[in-house]
Structures are given as C-alpha cells and as structure tokens.
Structure 1
Amino acid sequence: MTTTEGKAIAVRHERIDEAAAGQRIDNFLLRMAKGVPKSHVYRILRSGEVRVNGRRVQQTYRLQAGDEVRIPPIRIAAPVHAAPAPAGRPLPVVYEDDALIVIDKPSGKAVHGGSGVSYGVIEQLRVQRPELRMLELAHRLDRETSGLLIVAKKRSALTALHDMMREGRVEKRYLTLVPGRWANPLQHVKAALHKYLTAEGERRVRVSEEGKPAHSVVRLVRRWPDYSLLEVELKTGRTHQIRVHLAHLGFPLCGDDKYGDFALNKRLEAEGLKRMFLHAAKLSFEHPLTGERLSFEAPLPEDLQRFIDGLDSRQGRANG
C-alpha cells in the first residue's frame, strides 16, 4: 500500500456502538491502526496500554456495545487516499433492517475491489450509505454471477452469519443453464474440490481427492432438446463449486469463460447470451440476531430471461 510519512496520534477513546459489538479487541485495533505491525498491536495489549472500561483485557476479549476503549498514541502510516468509488446507480435492495442488507447484485459487478477491479459492491454501498459505520460482506458471489447477496451492518450479525454458513444453516439456491439434457429430477453431487494456480497465475478449481469436501444438490427445472435449466442448492460453499461440479459431470455452465465449452459460448453470444448463466435466486436463513426465519427470491435478470424466452421460440416450450 502506498503511504505518506507516518504520523503520531494522541491517546484516543472510542465508544463501541452496536455495529462494532462482538468484534475481538485485537481485530478492532488492527482495523483502527492500519499500517501498524501486528506485533506492536499485540505488545500494547499485553502491556496494558489498551484499556476497556479502564481495565486490561486479553486479546481475545469481545467488545460489547457501550464499551469505552482507550487506545494509546500509535505512529501510523497515513494512506494516500484513492479517488472515492463512484456512487453509480443505487443497488437494488431486497431487504434491510438494522442488522443486515440483502441486495440483488447485478452481473458484471465485483463484490469488492481488488484483482484489477478498482471498486465493487461493498465500496459502492459505503459511498451511497455514508451514515452506516459498518458494512461488510457476509459471503461472496463471482463477478458475473447475479443475485442475492447479504451485507452485514453489525459485527454481531456478521459473526453469526459466518457461523451459520460454516454450519450449513443458510440455504442458497442458484439457477443455471447447461447444454444437453440433464436426466435426473434430483441428484446429489459430492466431489472434493482443490484450488490451484495456473501457469499464468490465475486461480482455478478442479475435482480432486486432495481437495475439500463439496456437496451440491441439483434439481431439474426445465428442459429443451439441447439445454437444461437447473436449480443448484449449495450444501458447502467452495470456490466455483457449481461451475466445477457441473463441468466435471459434462454439463459446463453456458457462458462460463473458465470451465465452459468455449466454442459453444461463442455461438451462445451470437444468440444473445453475453455472460455466464448463473443467478443466486433464493436465500433462506434465520435472522442472525432475532432468530426469525427469512426467505428471499430474486427473479432471473432481464438478459437471462430474454435468452430463456428465445429458447422457447427456437426449440419449443420446455418440458420436464
């Protein structure tokens, strides 16, 4: 990160609000003092220079709303501020309360900046909602994937959502179009996935016994002579899981530029499919703070629905 010369700050006292509640004190300090070596942050914790409500705390202490944190003078590197993310068109909000936001992410928008992308969904939300002290992604979607995405507004909600996802208590279902006639109304796909880098340094995933367990549940939704519309429920959340599982079975996603049928993709583009056909259509989970059951659906975006309509006219109405 490019920085200007470091500068010292005086003793600070930070009052913890609900957005930061639930965060460990060491992580809180590392976020507050970007550029400070981790070893220094842990040293001031061990020495007692950091106090919470006037008392020393362990690095594992989880902050609570109303806590007052004393932060000693720390020499920090002041970052050179990049141009702010442009606000752009407001992101479609499906649901919002004081703990979280569910948006319907457009295709082509990364969830966060990095890897050649200057800004993404989270940066845009922070520009559009400057009054919110915390906005953090609860999970991710590939850049080309459209659909439902959860953003946490409180640290306690984020922690709970991460726990729920790790335990498989967030139901996520996607719609995808594949070439060929998928046979089974319901099929469980269990194949371990291994991440690796290509010779060019690009991230890829393959089915391998060396990988982590991965489980997808595939349901047939509609079928044409040459294509099948599938609903895929993720039981695990591995990188590129749907794309690699289906390609491994001989049904690569239409428009997939990493694991797909490239010759087919060119033909599909000429027929109007300009991107990967993958849409996060359904989400269901218990509210991380209240326990209320929440369920959301996002219809196919216009571009994908238009392509489906075109299939109906070219290949006849879909059948089971």
Structure 2
Amino acid sequence: MKEFIIDKSNKDQRFDKYIKRILKTAPDAFIYKMLRKKNIVLNGKKASGKEKLSEGDEVKIFLSDETFLKFSGPAESDKHDHLIDETFAKKNAGLFKAGILYEDEDIIIYDKPAGILSQKAKKDDISVNELLLAYLYDKESDNKERFKMFTPSVCNRLDRNTSGIILLAKTLPGARLLSSALKDRRVHKEYLALVHGNVDLKDDKEVIKEAYLKKDKDGNSVIISDLSETKGGKIISESDDNDIRIKTGIIPYKRYSFAGEDYTLLKVILYTGKTHQIRAFLSHLSHPIAGDVKYDKGHKEHYKNIKGYPKRQFLHAAKIRFPEDILSGREFESPLAPDLKDFLELISKR
C-alpha cells in the first residue's frame, strides 16, 4: 500500500488527474477500475475521480509493489535524474537566484539573461526550466519528492536572445493562476525594442495595430500580413491558411542617429503573445529590430562593421503588470540588459 498526503502544491485538482500523475503509464481504464474496486481511495472512502482535492486529504493506493512500479517507476526516475542532482543544483542555484525579481510560495518572476532558452529544444540543453529546478531542488532538498508530482516550469516564453521578464510556476496552483491570466490577456507586457528608421507617430502616443501571423514551418520563422491583404480575391480570415490575428501596441520613446542610420527606441505592448510576434511585426512595418538577423536581412553587413553593436536582437521584456486580483495589481520592471544599455550609451554620444 502507498499513502500520499495532499499538500498545497497539489490541492484544487481533480482526484483522477492526481492519480494519473502518480501512475503515469497506467491506462485510464485501469485507473477507473481501481477506483471502482476501492483499490484507490480518498480519505478512506470510495471515490469516482471527479472529486476536487483539498490540502490534507489522504490518498491510499492498494497495489502490489510490482504493479505500482510498472506504472510509476521508470517515468518518475528517468524524468528528473539529470535535473535534481545535488552537484548540478548547488552549482546553478546561485546563478538562478541572482535573477529573481519576485518569489512567493507559488510563482517566481525572473529576469532572464539573453542566450538562455526558456525551454530546452534538445535533450542536453540547459534552459530556464533546468535552472529553476536546480534552484528549487537546492532550496527544498528535503522535499524533492514533490517534483515527481508537479514539475515547476515557465508559463510564458522568450526567445533565446531576448532578455527580460519571464513568469515561472513553482506549484500547480501557481501554474493555473499564471496560465489563466496569460490566456485571458489580463497581464500587461511591455518590451523595449530599438528599431531601424524614424518611427513617426502623431504625438508619440500608443498606436495599436492588428495583423495576421502565419508560421513558416520550413524557415522557423513567421510571416505577417495586413488585415486588408487578399488571397484569391478574398480578405484573409483567421482560419485561412492557419493565419492568427495578432495585436501589438507601439510607442516611440527616443530617437537616435548613428553610423549613417536612424534608430527609434520603442515601447512595445504585447496584447497577443505569439512566437516572434514583435520581431516579425516590426520588420513588416519596415522597422526591423536592430541586430535581428532573422527578420532583418538587409543590415547584416551593417552589423558586422560597427564595433559595440549587440550580438543579438535589441529586444527586452522590460515591464509586467498584473490585474488587481493577482498580487494586488503589482508592477515589476527589469533593467535594460548591460549589452543593450551599453549600445544605447554608444549611439547617444554621436
């Protein structure tokens, strides 16, 4: 018999979903059969699986050790052995901690450096997720079993070479809170982007623009088209060719002239968060982000010839503001990353 006590990180979820986290490879039919036969009970009573768990609830699973291991053993151990390792944790916990802007029991607001993936793309990658796990494992080394029930993770993503604020969930309640707010677009997200050209808007007030975005699977990029563009004589719709409607706000903040080029520092408000949305959209407006070799093919040689030019796109997730029902509407800011700050100082002198 295996016994589990529901802690805060696992409350408020359906009982059957919790069981599926334990018996990861068990077929659904097997789990519901065990519930009906009272081989799996909640607080000593028969359960259907639809119950919502509360902190302190007692779960008992009456299975042979062989059966339990068959449905839970390999999936539990293989997934985190290379992550929750004491050497890895101690080596990287301090590195991660230095970037924490805010932390409570459920969430972390983190200042991601450029050059680090939000989530790993290959097995051996070290991403924000791995650094988060290292930090939490080092901090909660006496409670490492909880990582087998819920894996702390990023809730939104930034490109590898975009720096700034990223949201992380430590617990299942935290993941639900952040994911719901992001999905409902109730989190204000503001970026700083240095673009080529003079972006001239009336009174330099925010202008909100909408367009369509479509993924280009072959090139690992996206394509932007105006709402008024047509294909085959008809206006593009969201369902046509997998186009997704996007919404972006831009505010000119400061202008520069340097090495024969005009630049504008923009505040960019992200109303919809899609892959490469800001980068592709600004390029579509003929104001590509400085240093963005993917969406600015025309300035590749220009970048190479300027000493001190950023080795990445000049894009920084600078500010985030929550709705009143989350952290009382608090706002968090990330200072401009050093390489971007240095370049602004360089072009400000000319």
Settle same-fold status: TM greater than 0.5: yes
1:241 pairs with 2:277: yes
CA contact (8 A) 2:191 2:316 kept: yes
Equivalent position of 1:115 in the other structure: 122
Secondary structure at 2:131 match in 1: helix
Equivalent position of 2:231 in the other structure: none
Q: Percent identity?
A: 31
**Structure 1: how far apart are the matches of 2:183 and 2:56?**
29
Equivalent position of 1:8 in the other structure: none
TM-score, reference length from structure 2: 0.76
Equivalent position of 2:21 in the other structure: 31
**Structure 2: how far apart are the matches of 1:251 and 1:281?**
20
Task: State the structure with more CA Rg.
Answer: 2
Equivalent position of 1:45 in the other structure: 32
CA 1:291–1:121: 2 relative to 1, 3 Å: closer
**Structure 2: how far apart are the matches of 1:167 and 1:127?**
30
The equivalences for 1:18-97 within 5 A come to 18-34=8-24, 36=25, 40-48=27-35, 49-71=39-61, 72=63, 73-74=67-68, 75-76=70-71, 78=74, 80=78, 81-82=81-82, 84=85, 85=88, 87-88=91-92, 89-91=94-96, 92-97=99-104
Q: Following TM superposition, by how much is the alpha carbon of 1:63 offset from its aligned partner in structure 2, in angstroms? A: 2.7
AA in 1 matched with 2:321 = S
1:277 pairs with 2:314: yes
Measured against aligned partners, the alpha-carbon deviations of 1:146-198 in whole angstroms (never above 9, x if no partner) come to 11111122212211211111111100101111111111122212012122410
CA 1:303–1:14: 2 relative to 1, 3 Å: same
1:103 pairs with 2:110: yes
**Structure 1: how far apart are the matches of 2:288 and 2:48?**
50
**Structure 2: how far apart are the matches of 1:294 and 1:159?**
18
1:267 pairs with 2:284: no
Equivalent position of 2:233 in the other structure: none
CA 1:19–1:183: 2 relative to 1, 3 Å: same
Secondary structure at 1:268 match in 2: helix
AA in 2 matched with 1:43 = F
CA 1:59–1:255: 2 relative to 1, 3 Å: farther
Equivalent position of 1:5 in the other structure: none
CA contact (8 A) 1:190 1:214 kept: yes
1:254 pairs with 2:305: no
**Structure 2: how far apart are the matches of 1:195 and 1:25?**
38
CA 1:56–1:250: 2 relative to 1, 3 Å: farther
Q: Following TM superposition, by how much is the alpha carbon of 1:106 offset from its aligned partner in structure 2, in angstroms? A: 0.6
Secondary structure at 1:109 match in 2: coil
- Equivalent residue for 2:187, pick from 161, 165, 170: 170
Secondary structure at 2:252 match in 1: strand
For these two proteins, the number of residue pairs brought into alignment is 296
**Structure 2: how far apart are the matches of 1:239 and 1:116?**
22
**Structure 2: how far apart are the matches of 1:17 and 1:287?**
27
The equivalences for 1:117-136 within 5 A come to 118-130=125-137, 131=140, 133=146, 135-136=152-153
1:222 pairs with 2:254: yes
**Structure 2: how far apart are the matches of 1:249 and 1:264?**
15
In structure 1, runs of 5+ residues without a counterpart are 1-10, 315-320
What RMSD, in angstroms, separates the aligned Cα atoms of the two structures? 2.5
Equivalent position of 1:203 in the other structure: 220
In structure 2, runs of 5+ residues without a counterpart are 226-235
Secondary structure at 1:296 match in 2: strand
CA 1:282–1:51: 2 relative to 1, 3 Å: same
CA contact (8 A) 2:132 2:153 kept: no
1:308 pairs with 2:344: yes
Measured against aligned partners, the alpha-carbon deviations of 1:19-71 in whole angstroms (never above 9, x if no partner) come to 1223344443343344x15xx14531354143322344455544322222234
Q: Following TM superposition, by how much is the alpha carbon of 1:303 offset from its aligned partner in structure 2, in angstroms? A: 0.4
CA 1:19–1:287: 2 relative to 1, 3 Å: farther
Equivalent position of 1:7 in the other structure: none
CA 1:28–1:113: 2 relative to 1, 3 Å: farther
